[in-house]
Amino acid sequence: MRFSALIPVACAMVAFVLSMLALFAGNKPGFMEDYNIMTLNTSTLGHVLVPTPTSSSSSSASSTSSSLGSFISSLAQNITNSIEGELASIEGDIADKLAQTLGISQWYSLHFMDMCQGSYAPNATAKHVHKNTTECSNQTAMYHFNLTQTLNDQLHRGGLNLNLSDINWPSEIQDSIDAANTAMDATFILFMIGIGAAGVSILAGLVAFLVSGSRLLAFGNWGLTTISFTALLITAIILTVVQGKFVHAINKNGNDIGIYAYRGTKYLIITWIAPALMFLASLVWVFEFCIGRKQQKREYTEKASYTKRSKWSRSRI
């Protein structure tokens, strides 16, 4: 038994568990909600509908002269009425009540295999908020996030019976989400390979621990941990790039209409720790392989000298 073989096994176990958590975070409401890829704060989405004191509903009516203009101003009037006319003066109230009035959630978070949504508690503008999850979608492999559809359905069902074109929804947002979905499909396969290889390397590492000094086992384990490391590393890189582009694109196109995207930093941290641990594990197997070779050489030379000696002693007899 070689206790140093337990180091890579321990690394692979932690990497395996972290990767499983990264896979299943957010699979039911409230479970590791902070470990999301991205959060969208939609608490002020649609604020363009709400007249501000300086540019009241008349300005929007004049800019769009037709019946659409009067539709929007009456809509604004309805929203204003429905939240007791205080919207226009207090920004904090917009963030707090607008989403509810429109029938949407205050936040949406993207996880690896599903999406969750809910409201901010105690309210969207409070200093120390926590996310109150109302529901999560069913988990599916290669989940495709369709924010446009989700929002449109909710707006349609919502109190004011709106659709996204009423709030000047830019198509660039779903375009960037679609690009991210495609990249995430490839990531899903790599993630499976990374997790699978880490899992097998745990078992193979335990075998190597029992059968000490086997160079073949050390070599096989090095291969498994290297496959896992490479797959998890590429996964982490893709997720980092996708997250960055995604958040940037949504903030660039969506801030005007009141949608804000935040990176899921905690999620990134665990997706980077996993390949780092697998790298450490593969280094230890390289070390084990070299030690194994030295020992085997020593054993050979000991055997050789032993047989020589025994021949010699036999010949003397």
Q: Which of 43, 109, 187, 226 binds ligand NAG (CB under 6 A)?
A: 43
Q: Which of 92, 244 has the CB closer to ligand NAG?
A: 92
* CA 38 from centroid of its chain's CA atoms: 7
Q: Which of 160, 193 has the CB closer to ligand NAG?
A: 160
Q: Which of 78, 240 has the CB closer to ligand NAG?
A: 78
Residue 162 burial by Cβ neighbours in a 10 Å radius (0-12, 13-18, 19+): buried
Q: How many residues bind ligand NAG (CB under 6 A)?
A: 27
**Least distance from C-beta 240 to ligand NAG, angstroms?**
22
State the DSSP string of the chain: --GGGHHHHHHHHHHHHHHHHHHHTTSSTTTTTTS-SEEEE-TTTTGGGSPPSSS-HHHHHHHS-SHHHHHHHHHHHHHHHHTTT-TTT-HHHHHHHHHHHHT--SEEEE-SS-EEEEEEES-TT-SS-EEEEEEEPPP-TT----HHHHHHHHHHHSTT---GGGGT--HHHHHHHHHHHHHHHHHHHHHHHHHHHHHHHHHHHHHHHHSTT-HHHHHHHHHHHHHHHHHHHHHHHHHHHHHHHHHHHHHHHHGGGT-EEEE-HHHHHHHHHHHHHHHHHHHHHHHHHHHHHHHHHHHHHHHHHHHHHHHHHHHH-
Question: Which x/- pattern, by CB under 6 A, does the window 122-151 give for ligand NAG?
Answer: xxxxx--x--x----xx-------------
Token digits for 120? 């901010």
Work out whether 168 is an interface residue with ligand NAG (CB under 6 A): no
Work out whether 207 is an interface residue with ligand NAG (CB under 6 A): no
Question: Which x/- pattern, by CB under 6 A, does the window 251-280 give for ligand NAG?
Answer: ---------x--------------------
Q: Which of 9, 33, 40, 41 binds ligand NAG (CB under 6 A)?
A: 41
Q: Which stretch binds ligand NAG (CB under 6 A): 36-44, 174-182, 224-232, 301-309?
A: 36-44
Q: Which of 129, 193 has the CB closer to ligand NAG?
A: 129
Work out whether 61 is an interface residue with ligand NAG (CB under 6 A): no
Q: Which stretch binds ligand NAG (CB under 6 A): 14-22, 59-67, 121-129, 169-177?
A: 121-129
Q: Which stretch binds ligand NAG (CB under 6 A): 40-48, 199-207, 245-253, 269-277?
A: 40-48
Work out whether 71 is an interface residue with ligand NAG (CB under 6 A): yes
Q: Which of 106, 230 has the CB closer to ligand NAG?
A: 106
Q: Which of 43, 221 has the CB closer to ligand NAG?
A: 43
Fill in the amino acid letter for 80: T
Work out whether 33 is an interface residue with ligand NAG (CB under 6 A): no
Put the strands of the sheet holding 130-136 in their side by side order.
130-136, 115-121, 107-110, 38-41, 260-263
**Which positions from 76 through 115 interact with ligand NAG, judged by CB under 6 A?**
78, 92-93, 95-96
Q: Which residues pair with 132 in a beta bridge?
A: 119
Q: Which of 172, 299 has the CB closer to ligand NAG?
A: 172
Residues lying near ligand NAG in the complex (CB under 6 A) are found at: 41, 43-44, 71, 74-75, 78, 92-93, 95-96, 119-126, 129, 132, 137-138, 160, 163, 165, 260
